[in-house]
Structure 1
Amino acid sequence: MTRDVIALTPRMPDLRTLLAGLYAGGPDLGVSTLADGAVIQLRAPDGRPLVSVEAPVLVQVPGETTRLLGAAPGLPDSPVWWTEARAATAVAEGGLLAGSFAGRLATVLDGSVWPPEAASTGVVPLTTDISAVPVPATSAPAVDVLTDKAAVVIQDRPLVTMTSWLSDALRGAAADGRALQIVTPRATRLTRPALTALHGHPNRWVVQEADHGFYDGLSGAVLHWKGGVFTPVLDENGAASVADAFATTADSGERQLVLSLRTRHPADEDLVLGRAPEAAWRILTGAPPAGWSTAEPVNLPWSTRQLTDLARDRAPRPTLLIAVGHPDRPAIATVRVTRTPDGVEEDVVLALGYGRDETPPLDRVASLAETLCAEHSLTSMLTSLRAARRDLTVPPRFEAPPVPHTFTLGPGEVRAVGLTHALSPPLGPTPVRLGPPAGPALHYPIGDGTDPRGWHTFRGLTRHLERGTPA
């Protein structure tokens, strides 16, 4: 049984209802709060945490519960209050206590529980010998094991998402110089925001195979626990082996269109962020994003003004945002807003999913590039295509990398490189001018998005452009 249990209710759980749910362990257990009251914990008599409950979140984005939890019978769509409970993995009764807490909330508020089989309403007596359970080395609810080198999070759920729990664990690990390592079963997948969190070394997705040890879900390297951290098993030549379970599978015909773009704006009081990804959404899907948030579930309706206000309040610290599309077209983006000496930069990675019988809109990319350059201060954009899941989730097996389709260089960068130099890559490709003749952007066709040789063309182009950029 998963240790994460979620109550989905049409009404907001008030404090009295939350406390009534936490009495799932009987009157001998205690209750305390963390994070300025944002997390409530059910604790054993000696103070050890048993279940942590995050503040309820009103999810207002259509399709978000289905995207993250699947199309289980009885699960409501938005708007719905999402109350997540995470049980301590070291105590056998933890999962049952979390299930009873969620079941009580759902019963009182006419809601549902995910996973459905976890729900109960009875009292769960604490029979574990608490004195034999190690005292947690951290108060972070998401972290199950903490060593000098790693913060380990154990997730037994079909889809690992970039929850606020996980975001807090990532920030804490980075601040302390530790690796964040997420341990899951082989059947688990990641959302793209969760994948983004694990990209930085030495963070790692650790996949546990029944009776076959561990491997890295992104590289396939066979792993073992050594010195307080999961690390690759090396042979006598210092090379890592790849797990058999990581082998690629047959092409399903599903595709992802991936755009990596950067904009740069003057840091003035009239700046509104988020308009570049919104333009990409409208041109490629016919509709704006459905919602945004700083974590999953994405709970807020799309609003460029609100996300701008958040980024401004956090400046000069960077802000990482998540945006999602409407249920009929899988689309998700991460947006990183950074204050730099040159202004305010948005780094956007937008992925859109297409089935076997759907055609990615590659014919609209040039129009999108022209719009972004003319109206949204584009500095660069790489568009690529990859054979990967339509639902945009990441399985723990080999997936071919994306193949470049086009590259766009914004007008400011063209001026910095020099127009004559940027127009003449020695081995191609021949760019298309976008915008006014006196200060054009350049749009380079790389390939059809299916031929891996496109990477050779793209690397040659970027080396040529770098040689023209002033030191």
Structure 2
Amino acid sequence: MTKDVIALTPKMPDLRTLLAGLYAGGPDLGVSTLADSAVIQLHAPDGRPLVSVEAPVLIQVPGETARLLGAGPGLPDSPVWWTEARASTTVAEGGLLAGSFAGRLATVLNGSVWPPEAASTDVVPLTTDISAVPVPATAAPAVDVLTDNAAVVIQDRPFVTMTSWLSDALRGATADDRALQIVTPCTTRLTQPTRIALTGHPNRWVVQDADHGFYDGLSGAVLHWKGGIFTPVLGENGTASVAEAFTATAGTGERQLVLSLRTRHPADEDLVLGRALEAAWRALTGAPPAGWSTAEPVSLPWSTRRLTDLARDRAPRPTWLIAVGHPDRPAIATVRVTRTPAGVEEDIILTLGYGEDETPPLDRIGLLAETLCAEHALASMLTSLRAARRDLTVPPHFEAPPVPHTFTLGPGELRAVGLAHALSPPLGPTPVQLGPAAEPALHYPIGDGTSPGAWTTLQHLTAHIGAAPGTAH
């Protein structure tokens, strides 16, 4: 198991300050680097890592510290330097060493520590008999347990965020054909990027509940540890049971508006990515995104040019990134940029949160669809509404799936399907034609965002579109 401690400082910790912090364990412990010097490790005399410290990140996005750590007294807002340490608790002194490291940085640089109770400046001598402690099977800073089947990450913090630590763990697990399984207490919630990243079996969010044991925080399935992996407990009929803690929920009246859209652009030197996302953000909130990054915390001010440069530098490899909104209007998006034979594609999931007394701007979706088709190479877009938290975090209990509201078929996709075919789905709905007659798009009203029957309507529609003579099967 690991313990996370974060130093938040107004100035960047330089190498001298970092080394002073790493002397929290006294002169007998060693220091080394890995990941091209992006991670510094404090290790025992036998070389075993005790504390791993990631390179400091300058957070320039307002509200980001509160979004990820929760509001609290003394928690600084941007701009602030975020230096995160992960301590192995297989050795008793690990957590104390991380707290002393962070406390020393905060003391020297007039900053603060999260969680506050972890901070100290004490020297923590290593008294544990290291030879009696089993050597972990993995040296990856984010992974606590590694088996043939799973990479297990244990997190004890209010929100599990898609940090660079966790992103590296996910990439490593995927490359090695292992499941990434995140274990948390029942008080923890996921951020939307973490929820999206866990999509796909057998990755899991494993929740430990004092009264109900282990269960899957996204499906509710009761779990147990078997064969080096958390897997569902199956009954005599071969089905998994659902934990009582997962189903015990109460409605709050809060909602989320979800847009899932894809754009497809010619791969030319003038292409600027992110403009479709910015257009959607402006249309629905009145402002552009506040910031973007390839991991959480989101650190960089919004810039379509900078994210385009990053994607171009990484091509032909895909680029995955996160965008967030301003604190007064909860909004978050993930974007996957992929180079394909057809050009450059952006797969975007934008989620916006609304309180019980707020009305989601469903009346703006039609005009937004028209704008995206005319100016931003929209291939398709599905909008939906769901009963879920305004702050966009994911709790470990049941949340109803989103209910479809509209579906848009962009001009390029419509050419492949054929206008006549797309205009006449036999079971409805009746589409609205967008744009000029020479280059039309179609916008289908699916439902009001509350009736589950809209899923049936959408399934019939997509089956009809997929059966068009010009589409690939």
TM-score (norm 1): 0.99
The answer as to whether partners of 1:333 and 1:348 remain within 8 angstroms in 2 is yes
Specify the alignment match of 1:19 in structure 2: 19
* Aligned pairs for 1:158-173 within 5 A: 158-173=158-173
Matched, 1:311 2:299: no
Specify the alignment match of 2:47 in structure 1: 47
SS at match of 1:3: strand
* Partner amino acid, structure 2, of 1:110: N
Separation in 1, partners of 2:97, 2:137: 22
Matched, 1:195 2:204: no
Per-residue Cα deviation, 1:407-455 (whole angstroms, up to 9, x for no partner): 0000111111111110111111110010001221000001110111110
Displacement of 1:235 in angstroms is 1.3
Displacement of 1:248 in angstroms is 4.5
* Partner amino acid, structure 1, of 2:172: G
SS at match of 1:134: coil
Separation in 2, partners of 1:296, 1:340: 27
Displacement of 1:211 in angstroms is 4.9
Displacement of 1:127 in angstroms is 2.3
SS at match of 1:36: coil
Separation in 2, partners of 1:369, 1:158: 36
SS at match of 1:37: coil
Per-residue Cα deviation, 1:246-268 (whole angstroms, up to 9, x for no partner): 01412101000000000000000
Displacement of 1:230 in angstroms is 0.6
Specify the alignment match of 2:262 in structure 1: 262
* Partner amino acid, structure 2, of 1:68: L
SS at match of 2:412: helix
The answer as to whether partners of 1:40 and 1:52 remain within 8 angstroms in 2 is yes
* Partner amino acid, structure 2, of 1:264: R
Matched, 1:183 2:183: yes
The answer as to whether partners of 1:2 and 1:157 remain within 8 angstroms in 2 is no
Separation in 2, partners of 1:240, 1:290: 42
Specify the alignment match of 2:471 in structure 1: 470
Displacement of 1:94 in angstroms is 1.1
SS at match of 2:282: helix
Separation in 1, partners of 2:448, 2:72: 38
The answer as to whether partners of 2:354 and 2:390 remain within 8 angstroms in 1 is yes
* Partner amino acid, structure 2, of 1:435: G
* Aligned pairs for 1:326-365 within 5 A: 326-365=326-365
Identify unmatched segments of 5+ residues in structure 2: none
The answer as to whether partners of 1:89 and 1:144 remain within 8 angstroms in 2 is no
Separation in 1, partners of 2:276, 2:146: 40
Specify the alignment match of 1:110 in structure 2: 110
Per-residue Cα deviation, 1:210-257 (whole angstroms, up to 9, x for no partner): 253211111111111111111111112211111111014121010000
Specify the alignment match of 1:60 in structure 2: 60
The answer as to whether partners of 1:248 and 1:399 remain within 8 angstroms in 2 is no
Specify the alignment match of 1:30 in structure 2: 30
* Partner amino acid, structure 2, of 1:83: T
Displacement of 1:99 in angstroms is 0.7
Residues 89/197 of structure 1: CA separation in 2 closer, same or farther (3 Å cut): farther
* Aligned pairs for 1:61-210 within 5 A: 61-210=61-210
Matched, 1:7 2:21: no
Displacement of 1:130 in angstroms is 1.2
* Partner amino acid, structure 1, of 2:391: D
* Aligned pairs for 1:445-464 within 5 A: 445-464=445-464
* Partner amino acid, structure 1, of 2:408: T
C-alpha RMSD of matched pairs (Å) = 1.0
SS at match of 2:467: helix
The answer as to whether partners of 1:295 and 1:321 remain within 8 angstroms in 2 is yes
Separation in 2, partners of 1:244, 1:448: 31
* Partner amino acid, structure 1, of 2:385: L
Displacement of 1:125 in angstroms is 2.2
* Partner amino acid, structure 1, of 2:471: P
Specify the alignment match of 1:287 in structure 2: 287
Specify the alignment match of 1:215 in structure 2: 215
**Pairs aligned (count):** 471
TM-score (norm 2): 0.98
SS at match of 2:36: helix
Percent identity among equivalent residues? Answer: 86
Separation in 1, partners of 2:139, 2:314: 25
Per-residue Cα deviation, 1:296-330 (whole angstroms, up to 9, x for no partner): 00000000000000001111111001000011100
Specify the alignment match of 1:376 in structure 2: 376
* Partner amino acid, structure 2, of 1:124: V
Separation in 2, partners of 1:134, 1:309: 45
SS at match of 1:389: coil
